[in-house]
Amino acid sequence: MARDGNGDIAHDFMGSAQIFASAVEEVVEKQILEQSAGKGFTLSQFKLLKMVAMTDAHTISDVALFLGVSNAAASKAVDKLVRRKLLRREEGSPDRREIRVSLTDSSLGLLAIYEQKKERKLAQVFRGFSEDKLKRAARLLDRLSAELVDHHAHPDEVCLQCGIYFRDQCLVRQLTKRNCFYVRRRRQTKQAHADNVPYEEELHELGS
């Protein structure tokens, strides 16, 4: 199929973006992670720790929602990190059926070591580029990511996992004026908990 000039540029850009993403994963993530934690620790496990550290996803259901897996798969992933003393499982309050997860001293130390090594690597990589060029490149990538999501058949079902990629705000919400499903579900869950508190307290008083 023939492509016009814009089509060629778009394909070239997408190819460059995917190569850049692969370079980030292989060099900035996998290699630095291996230097920080050894070969027995996977990138997906590390991202789970980052998710707990950088977002408000602290229950098994949150982990499943954020990673796009079942509750059973999320619980299994958490258990592996608990056995390595990198996560802690606790009963939730007031609902004891809600298992909450938190970081341990070991995982905090691992994250700190990784961040130190990552900052040194990025300083070496980016020192040849001006701050203005990097800002413009970042804004362009953000706008293109938002456009891709906005043209998705169901943009509200897309989660870019902004919370673990050094972002304080959801990119989907900020640039497309929509909420990703993770943010929306988190709000629904919080509201449901808030609505149930008086009822749970009333049951407690009746039982006492």
Domain with CATH 1.10.10.10 in the chain: 21-128
List pLDDT tens digits, range 57-94: 688 888 887 777 888 999 999 999 999 999 999 876 55
Whether pLDDT at 98 is above 90: no
Return the pLDDT at 110.
95
Q: What is the mean pLDDT of residues 121-131?
A: 91
Which residues partner with 99 through β-bridges?
A: 91
Torsion sign, CA atoms 49, 55, 59, 63: negative
The domain defined by 21-128 carries CATH number 2.40.30.20: no
Q: Among the ranges 49-63, 86-100, 179-193, which has the highest mean pLDDT value? A: 49-63
pLDDT-based confidence at residue 51 (cuts at 50, 70, 90): confident
> DSSP labels for 106-157?
HHHHHHHHHHHHHHHHHHHHHTTS-HHHHHHHHHHHHHHHHHHHHTSSSGGG
Q: Whole-structure pTM over 0.75, yes or no?
A: no
Whether pLDDT at 168 is above 70: no
> Burial code of 163-193, b = ≥16 C-beta within 10 A, e = fewer?
bbeeeeebbbeebbebbbbbbebbeeeeeee
Whether pLDDT at 184 is above 50: yes
Return the pLDDT at 38.
87
The neighbour count for residue 106, using CB atoms within 10 Å, is: 13
Ranges 51-65, 86-100, 105-119, 138-152: which has the least confidence: 86-100
Return the pLDDT at 192.
59
Ranges 23-27, 82-86, 120-124, 164-168: which has the least confidence: 164-168
Return the pLDDT at 199.
39
Residue for token pair 């090594």: 117
